[in-house]
Structure 1
Amino acid sequence: MKNTRDKEHLDRRSTAAEAKAAQLQAYRAAKEAGEPARLARQAERIALAAAREERRANRERAKIEERERLQAEALEREAAIKAAANAEAEAREAAENNRISRVLEDEAARKAERDRRYANRKARQAR
């Protein structure tokens, strides 16, 4: 009887080993059969990653261009403000010079009128 049992044990062990070998062989066959699909998925993932990187680079480029455009606009606005301030200062200076020249002309005219009246009075007294 003991011999029979050993035979059953040996049968179970060999059956288990054959099952493991069959599973391993099935796994290897499935792996080889799925290789083209795996490579295709991997290539697709690589393409998606490249496209994602390209979009990220485009966004970065757009941000940089926008930042540069805003800086250029700020510089232009600053230059326009400075030009307006310079023009306003020049206009004020010109107006001040104008007023000063008018005051001098008015004073010269008053002096001339005073001198004329004085000369007329002296001429009348001398007669």
Structure 2
Amino acid sequence: MAIYREKDIFERRNAANEAKKALLERFKTRPAADDPAVLARQAERQAILAARAEREAEKAKLKQEKLAREAAERAAREAEAERARLVAEAKAAEEAKLRESEENERIARLLADEAERKAKRDARYAARKSRTGRTPPGFTAR
């Protein structure tokens, strides 16, 4: 079994120096900005960005069209609902008028029946009084 050994300060310093040298070497070997490979990569990135912007614009346009279509459909549904509500209100008002006229006719019939019964009753009373030939106290014959 291996025994774990800590690195001493010199080993850590050497490792750090070598990492710095490797970074510096990578930076120095990097191609220049006017290198054809770099320019090709930049052109490719620009094309990707342009295609992405175009897709986003198309997506936004489709979304706007969808929102406009939904708004038009909602407005049509609301107009239809309003028309149906107005028709229902008119129908309800007509039915209320009909019920009111029927109620008025029923009340008129009841009043007419009551007046007819009162007239018959008064006629019977007058006939009875005329048969006896006498007037009760407090009652004056007409």
Identity %: 14
Name structure 1 gaps, 5 residues minimum: 1-28
What is the 5 A alignment of 1:19-58? 34-58=39-63
Q: Counterpart of 1:108?
A: 113
Distance in 1 between residues matched to 2:79 and 2:36, nearest whole Å: 62
- The one-letter amino acid paired with 1:74 is A
Q: Counterpart of 1:71?
A: 76
Number of equivalences? 99
- The one-letter amino acid paired with 1:57 is L
> Which 10-residue stretch deviates more, 99-108 or 85-94?
85-94
Q: Counterpart of 1:17?
A: none
TM-score under structure 1 normalisation?
A: 0.69
Distance in 2 between residues matched to 1:97 and 1:33, nearest whole Å: 95
Name structure 2 gaps, 5 residues minimum: 1-33, 133-142
Greater per-residue helix proportion? 1
- The one-letter amino acid paired with 2:61 is R
- The one-letter amino acid paired with 1:67 is A
Distance in 2 between residues matched to 1:119 and 1:93, nearest whole Å: 39
How far did 1:31 drift? 6.7
| Aligned counterpart for 2:88 among listed residues 83, 88, 104 | 83
Distance in 2 between residues matched to 1:33 and 1:99, nearest whole Å: 97
Instruction: Let me know the Cα RMSD of the aligned residues.
Output: 2.0
- The one-letter amino acid paired with 1:121 is A
Q: Does 1:120 align with 2:125?
A: yes
Q: Counterpart of 1:5?
A: none
